[in-house]
Amino acid sequence: MSTIFGLIIEGKIPSKKVFENERILAIEDIHPVAPVHILIMPKKPIPNLQSVEPGDWPLIAELLQVAQKIAEEKEVEEGYRLLTNNGPDAGQTVFHLHFHLIGGRVLGKMC
Ligand code: 5GP
């Protein structure tokens, strides 16, 4: 069954796109926790980081390159956080792999 991000990737639900190519989509988070809060995801429906298979690593590397580029474009390269919630205990709510790129304010320590 498709997740909300699957529907966004298919264009069935609108989103504010920040970056897109054939393999990767980046969108603004609908409930931002900072001035910059971007979700970067592979279009391939991988549930989370623990589900990444050996052949997917080039895709993940490309995704990290996209994150680096977006950080520059959003002018937060001096301080941003890139994280993925893996599984319910970590607070993952959408089971389509995505990385949160958060910045634009002083973020402080992790919990
Ligand atoms: P998770 O909790 O799985 O790590 O992150 C899911 C993120 O997706 C949350 O930050 C939430 O605000 C965001 N989100 C949930 N539904 C939508 C949506 O329909 N559109 C967008 N742009 N973000 C969403």
**How would you label 56-68 residue by residue, b for 16+ Cβ within 10 Å and e otherwise?**
beebeeebeebbe
What pLDDT does 47 receive? 98
- Place 1 in a pLDDT band, splitting at 50, 70 and 90: low
What ranges do the domains of the chain cover? 1-21+40-54+85-90
Q: Collect all residues with Cβ–Cβ distance below 8 Å to 60 and sequence separation of at least 6.
A: 42, 52
C-alpha–C-alpha distance, residues 2 and 98, integer Å? 15
Q: Give yes or no for residue 4 CB within 6 A of ligand 1.
A: yes
Beta strands in 21-94, from DSSP E residues, in sequence order: 24-28, 36-42, 80-83
pLDDT at 110: 85
pLDDT digits (tens, 9 = 90+) for 2-60: 999 999 999 999 999 999 999 999 999 999 999 999 999 999 999 999 999 999 999 99
Ligand 1 pocket, 86 CB below 6 A?
no
Q: What is the pLDDT of residues 59-107, one digit of tens each?
A: 999 999 999 999 999 999 999 999 999 999 999 999 999 999 999 999 9
- Would you state the pLDDT for residue 111? 73
96 assigned to active site: no
pTM above 0.95, yes or no: yes
pLDDT at residue 51, rounded to an integer: 98
Does 67 sit in the ligand 1 pocket, CB within 6 Å?
A: no
- What is the C-alpha to C-alpha distance for residues 3 and 96, in angstroms, rounded to an integer? 7
Q: Bridge-partner residues for 26, per DSSP?
A: 19, 40
